[in-house]
Structure 1
Amino acid sequence: MATRTVAIQLIRAAIAPAAARGLDVGYVLREAGIPAALIGEDAARVTEDQAARVIQVLWSVTGDEMVGLGPMVIPRGTFRMVTLGLIHTPDLRTALRRLIQFVGIGVGFEVTERAGEATTTRMVVAPGGGTRADQVVGAIGIVVGHRFASWLIGREIPLRAVELPEPAPPHSDYPSVFGLVPDFDAPAASIAFDSSFLDAPVVRDEEELVAFLRNLPGALLFRQDYHPSTSSRVRRMVERRPAPDLLTVEDVARPLNVSAQHLRRLLRDEGTTFREIKEDVLRDAAIAALARGHETVDELSGRLGFSEPSAFRRAFRRWTGSPPGAYRLAQG
């Protein structure tokens, strides 16, 4: 049941430049198995595989690694060439400085490294030429930079702060993406982290890089649990159960060697609850199953532990704003 989904806002933002150019975004969505009607539903979600497929098809039809989201076209193969220039650096400090040089020369963004407190480094990503900062574009930029930096040194770099331009959206995955809630209405997108990571050695080689590049965009866009949080540990435990709704907080607290009360407190500190995690797992499993189309709604309802299909239908509409049948359209 270990399936993750992403908010429709990522898909909406990704296809918008192609639509503005008159390209056939209906074809892009069909190739990814996403019903076009979901694009207008704010609470809709798609699987990570579907989201990755959207980006891959957009790469093909636009010839742009930023799929039109950036201030200039980035030819296919640019990211590969940039990363080949980083893989042989001795440490993260050198890699980031070289990345800043590459980005400034040919990507159309301005990336700056700013010392914060004595122990904090802040990386700022902004569009070049004084272009207005866009929240989704900025978020993608800092996600890609953070994930690749973590991959280079073989361990996650915990973030101390994240800033994004524009107001907070009503539906987003930002807390799970970054591991914390960002501050919004900032002049540009930025991340802050412990400066000690700058001295971490680069531990990857070209062979590993080639394998990493084969897994794009998923390897960069979707969360990798190098340093699992309490909520991610709980989620993995819930995902392993065939009927998550029957699982209690005591069932999960016991193998974690904490009390149920303490577990609730830890989850609350991370901005979630045990019930929300269970609902997220059920929602994501339901969306993935509906996209595959191998089960009837009644069969899916029973497998997920619902007492009757009508209860599942009500829950699904609460989760996504749509009935299960809207996701069946993904099968054509």
Structure 2
Amino acid sequence: MRYVRGMVDAAAVRGVRRDEVLAWAGGINPEMLDASRSRVSLKQFSRLYSAVALHLEDEAAGLSAYGVPLGAAETMIRSGVTATSLADGVEILAKALNAVLPGIKVESFISQDELGIAMSEIRPSTTDRHSTFEVCLLTTYAAMAWLYGRRLPLLSVDFPNAAPRHLYELRTLFAGTLRFNQPCASLRFSNEHASLPVLRTPAEVTKFLRRAPRSLIEALLTRGELAVLVRSSIHEHLPKLISLNEVAERFALSPRSLHRKLEAEGESFQKIKDDLRRDLSIYALTRTSQPLKQIAIDVGFSDQTSFQRAFVEWTGRPPGEWRRMASSHK
């Protein structure tokens, strides 16, 4: 929701009323803007982002301190698809990003242990630095996830500023450790992935770009193969909550091996379980008339109170309030 709020504010500076901007997304309840951990659908977000970007003539949709020219993502992706490996790709992408990111210097690096892309401001900005680097790193990471056919595991994602309040959301989007107050912003990969090949072809680029930014967001949310299987296993056993040990046994793995393999995909058993239960709860609250007690039971809670407490932790709002806000703006 903080991204939605940022786009609404950026459009407001250009004289567009808040209700008009929200209408571009197909209708978002204005009350949701004040709920920091609330969510909108992928379709709504994509429509809003595209509309604001076109209106502002800024591909960052006002979320970066530096306006990004329309066509920047296309330049990056069409350049990246020519790479032969991840090592080759970080160098090519850094050059492309330098051409389309005003105000930011981008460099690639490779050593015996790691490789990646680093970003630093040419001149310090006076606006939200975190939002600027967040957008740049997320867009680059999403493009790489699509090009290499997987959400690449990261050694770390570095930010040059202090940790923000929305750490949960960032951990969901990046498959790696988040580090703050670093010398520069960067995406750091293990050198063991240096030879990873680009899986996409130039012929696929046009179709991918036609669906942007939705296609970029989908690439960010794509889980590794094992994470998908674990999520499916947890789902099929609900309302019973199966343990990590039980899931590991299903896949003929030790619990330690399962934990390690999920970690390599940037996931954890607890996070997969929480995300699944949150998603199922939101669906039931917004698409059905099931009472809260039944929803709590369906997603594996022994009582409604525990469910409500967990839901507030996941989304920042009680489930009843979430249902009211969603239904009042349909």
TM-score normalised by the chain length of structure 2: 0.77
1:288 aligns to 2:262 (yes or no): no
Measured after TM superposition, the shift of residue 47 of structure 1 is: 4.3
| Partner Cα distance (2:22, 2:266) in 1 | 32
Whole-angstrom CA distance in 2 between matches of 1:249 and 1:155: 24
**1:112 to 2:107 alignment:** yes
* Structure 2: 5+ residue stretches without partners: none
3-state DSSP class of the match of 1:118? coil
**How far is the alpha carbon of 1:128 from its aligned partner?**
3.9
Alignment match, 1:320: 315
User: 1:62 is matched with which residue?
Assistant: 56
Corresponding residue for 1:247?
Answer: 242
Structure 1 residues 21 and 330: alpha-carbon distance in aligned structure 2, compared to 1, 3 A threshold: farther
Q: Which residue of 2 aligns with 1:138?
A: 133
Matches of 1:56 and 1:226, distance apart in 2: 25
Counterpart of 1:129 in 2: which secondary structure? coil
The residue that corresponds to 1:165 in the other structure is: 160
1:166 shift after superposition: 1.9
CA distance in 1, matches of 2:151, 2:319: 36
SS of 1:252 mapped into structure 2: helix
Corresponding letter in the other structure for 1:295: S
C-alpha distance in 2 between matches for 1:17 and 1:66? 10
Q: Percent identity?
A: 26
Matches within 5 A, 1:116-265: 117-131=111-125, 134-172=129-167, 173-195=169-191, 197=193, 199-222=195-218, 223-225=220-222, 227-228=224-225, 233-241=229-237, 243-259=238-254
Deviation at 1:123, TM superposition (A): 1.2
Deviation at 1:124, TM superposition (A): 1.0
Paired AA for residue 123 in structure 2: G
Q: 1:163 to 1:305 in 2, by over 3 A?
A: closer
CA distance in 1, matches of 2:145, 2:279: 26
Letter in 1 for 2:201: D
Question: Map of 1:47-86 to 2, 5 A cutoff?
Answer: 47-86=41-80
The match for 1:35 among 29, 34, 39 is 29
Following the alignment from structure 1 to structure 2, what is the Cα–Cα distance between the partners of residues 88 and 265?
Answer: 32
* Residues 87-145 of structure 1: per-residue CA shift (max 9 Å, x gap): 34555555544433333334313211134x42322311234434367223212212222
Is the aligned partner of 1:23 residue 2:19?
A: no
> Which deviates the most, 118-127 or 193-202?
193-202
CA distance in 2, matches of 1:9, 1:202: 32
* Alignment RMSD: 3.7
8 Å CA contact retained: 2:159, 2:181: yes
Alpha-carbon separation, structure 2, partners of 1:162 and 1:301: 35
Change in CA separation of 1:245 and 1:41 when aligned onto 2, cut-off 3 Å: farther
Distance 2:322 2:120 in 1: 36
Report if the CA contact (8 A) 2:285-2:322 is conserved: yes
Over 3 Å counting, the alpha-carbon distance change for 1:317 and 1:105 in structure 2 is: closer
Cα distance change of structure 1 residues 106 and 196 upon mapping to structure 2, 3 Å threshold: same
What secondary structure is seen at the aligned counterpart in 1 of 2:230?
helix
Task: Report if the CA contact (8 A) 2:114-2:190 is conserved.
Answer: yes
Q: Is the 8 A contact 2:296 2:303 kept in 1?
A: yes
Looking at structure 2, the residues matched to 204 and 213 of structure 1 have their Cα atoms a distance apart, in angstroms, of 13
Q: What amino acid is the match of 2:277? A: L
Contact in 2 for aligned 1:164/1:183 (Cα 8 Å)? yes
* Matching residue's letter, 1:238: I
**Contact 1:17-1:69 at 8 Å conserved across structures:** yes
> Is the CA contact (8 Å cut-off) linking 2:151 and 2:223 kept in structure 1?
yes
Q: Is the 8 A contact 1:70 1:127 kept in 2?
A: no
- Farther-moved stretch of structure 1 (152-161 vs 194-203): 194-203
TM-score (norm 1): 0.77
Instruction: Give the residue type in structure 1 aligned to 2:73.
Output: F
Equivalent residues, number: 321
